[in-house]
């Protein structure tokens, strides 16, 4: 089998390519290199440079590489930007997916894994200390980004129903870490890199609000190592191949809630800093608590996260230092 990994030169996509390759699968990366970097790809993995909006190029790629499964990660993923540029996000994430699915079904490719997000849940009701989000929790995205992921899931599922395409939508929780320093996330859009940036600038990390209804008043999230996330894709790809006509929707998290304040304490410890955070205003639209129930992924895929927060932070820090050799 050959798997086409769209967004394969991105932070998560390159980890998926690596995990697929390690599992003995043949892969082809497809990426417009808007944020991806070809240097992230292992030697021998072909890269097709282009957009998923280019249906002709997708069709040619599927045929030339005899693709038998697609893992679709190519998308825009900044929540704030999606609020300012909803049309751009709908075009890239929903129209891009539609064009891709058209080519996939026309070529008779049987399996499709879709990169979704915990952002589909929005503000889950029940912020109690042990509340977990299941796949049955009602979806109510709070940003155009989250909407495009939910609409994407609908599109994927409807296409599966209509054509027999076997599908899995994986709802990623908060991804961190790296398999190797050169594969690390180079964007500074999430808590872990934002804290790294502050600490290396000699500034205090910021806590966006400490009056949430959580044990220490700061938001609680479910952090997952990108290596575990990548392995979930391999497990999903294998599950689809083994059983045609499936339609899976799965949370990919660890089921462990960690607060912003705890994360900052741990980041200080891992990086050898000792800088207490300062309080900043709440960031609009942040839910108090979003923690996955990961039971369904375990039952359907036999997959479970293996790495803890410590290993996410240690590997993410090694990646940060690799990409910021001057210490900034």
223 is catalytic: no
Rounded to a whole number of angstroms, the minimum distance from the CB of residue 233 to ligand WQD is 15
Three-class secondary structure assignment of 247-263: EEEEEECCCCCEEHHHH
Q: Which of 23, 194, 298, 318 binds ligand WQD (CB under 6 A)?
A: 194
251 contacts ligand WQD (rule: CB under 6 A): no
With contact defined as beta carbons under 8 Å apart, do 254 and 223 qualify?
yes
Residues found in the chain:
328
With contact defined as beta carbons under 8 Å apart, do 2 and 65 qualify?
yes
15 contacts ligand WQD (rule: CB under 6 A): no
168 contacts ligand WQD (rule: CB under 6 A): no
Q: Which of 99, 229, 248, 260 binds ligand WQD (CB under 6 A)?
A: 260
261 contacts ligand WQD (rule: CB under 6 A): no
Find all residues with CB under 8 Å of 75, minimum gap 6, and list them: 7, 92, 93, 96, 97, 115, 148
Rounded to a whole number of angstroms, the minimum distance from the CB of residue 107 to ligand WQD is 28
d(CA 200, CA 249) in angstroms, rounded, equals 39
115 contacts ligand WQD (rule: CB under 6 A): no
What angle is formed at CA 97 by the lines to CA 96 and CA 99, rounded to 5 degrees? 65
199 contacts ligand WQD (rule: CB under 6 A): no
Q: Which of 77, 233, 238, 307 binds ligand WQD (CB under 6 A)?
A: 77
Q: Which of 73, 207, 230, 270 binds ligand WQD (CB under 6 A)?
A: 207
# chain residues binding ligand WQD, by CB under 6 A: 17
> Among the candidate windows 28-36, 161-169, 204-212, 236-244, which touches ligand WQD by CB under 6 A?
204-212
Instruction: Catalog residues that contact ligand WQD under the rule CB under 6 A.
Output: 77, 79, 117-119, 174, 190-191, 194, 206-208, 219, 221, 260, 283, 286
Which residues are known catalytic residues?
145
């Amino acid at each position: 089998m050959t798997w086409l990994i769209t967004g394969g030169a991105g932070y998560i996509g390159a980890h998926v390519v690596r995990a697929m390759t390690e599992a003995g699968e043949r892969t082809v990366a497809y990426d417009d290199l808007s944020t991806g970097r070809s240097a992230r790809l292992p030697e021998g993995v072909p890269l097709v440079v282009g957009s998923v909006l280019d249906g002709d190029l997708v069709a040619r790629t599927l045929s030339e590489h005899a693709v038998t499964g697609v893992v679709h990660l190519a998308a825009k993923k900044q929540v704030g930007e999606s609020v300012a540029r909803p049309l751009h996000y709908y075009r890239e994430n929903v129209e891009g997916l539609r064009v891709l699915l058209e080519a996939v079904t026309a070529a008779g490719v049987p399996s499709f894994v879709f990169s979704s997000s915990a952002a589909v849940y929005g503000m889950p009701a029940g912020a109690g200390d042990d509340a977990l989000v299941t796949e049955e929790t009602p979806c109510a995205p709070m940003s155009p980004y989250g909407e495009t992921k939910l609409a994407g899931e609908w599109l994927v599922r409807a296409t599966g129903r209509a054509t027999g395409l076997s599908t899995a939508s994986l709802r990623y929780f908060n991804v961190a870490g790296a398999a190797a320093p050169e594969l690390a996330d180079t964007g500074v859009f999430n808590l872990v890199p934002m804290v790294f940036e502050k600490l290396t600038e000699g500034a205090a990390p910021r806590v966006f609000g400490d009056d949430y209804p959580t044990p220490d008043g700061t938001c609680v999230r479910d952090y997952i190592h990108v290596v575990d996330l990548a392995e979930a894709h391999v497990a999903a790809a294998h599950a689809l191949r083994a059983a045609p006509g499936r339609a899976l929707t799965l949370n990919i998290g660890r089921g462990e809630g960690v607060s912003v304040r705890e994360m900052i304490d741990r980041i200080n410890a891992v990086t050898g800093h000792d800088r207490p955070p300062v309080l900043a205003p709440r960031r609009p639209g942040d839910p108090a608590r979003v923690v996955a129930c990961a039971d369904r992924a375990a039952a359907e895929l036999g997959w479970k996260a293996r790495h803890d927060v410590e290993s996410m932070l240690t590997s993410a820090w090694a990646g940060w230092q690799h990409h910021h050799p001057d210490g900034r």
